[in-house]
């Protein structure tokens, strides 16, 4: 994948995580614990994808 693809993925993960954090807080305040755990898992997967994309981007970016 190209560098721009990694940029896109990382920006997308930020958007997902902002939404998930908002929904998590809402679910927590509403005591909707089942969906809260779902949002939490999605958020952590998204963070993992962001990290993985970053390492892949770094490999491409710093290769001569």
Partner 1 sequence: MTCKKKLGRNQKDTNDDMINLVDNLNREDDLKYNRRAFLKTAVGTSVALGVATIPFSVKAMLGMEKDYERVEITKLADLPEGESVVFNYPTEKDPALLVHTVNGDLKAYNSACTHLMCPVFYEKEQDVLLCPCHAGYFDVNNGHPTAGPPQRELPLIEIEVDNGIVYAVGRQYRHG
Query: 58 is written with which tokens?
Result: 């770094």
Nearer to partner 1, 33 or 59 (CB): 33
- Supply the minimum distance, in Å, between the C-beta of residue 52 and partner 1: 10
Q: Tell me the C-alpha distance between 32 and 25, whole Å.
A: 10
By CB under 8 A, the residues from 15 to 54 that bind partner 1 are 17-18, 20-21, 24-33, 36-37, 39-40, 43-44, 46-48, 50-51, 53-54
DSSP 32: -
Q: Does 56 bind partner 1 (CB under 8 A)?
A: no
Q: Tell me the C-alpha distance between 43 and 38, whole Å.
A: 9
């Amino acid at each position: 994948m190209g560098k721009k693809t990694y940029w896109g993925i990382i920006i997308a993960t930020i958007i997902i995580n902002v939404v998930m954090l908002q929904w998590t807080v809402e679910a927590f305040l509403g005591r909707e614990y089942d969906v809260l755990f779902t949002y939490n898992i999605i958020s952590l997967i998204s963070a993992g994808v962001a990290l993985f994309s970053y390492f892949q981007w770094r490999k491409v970016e710093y290769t001569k």
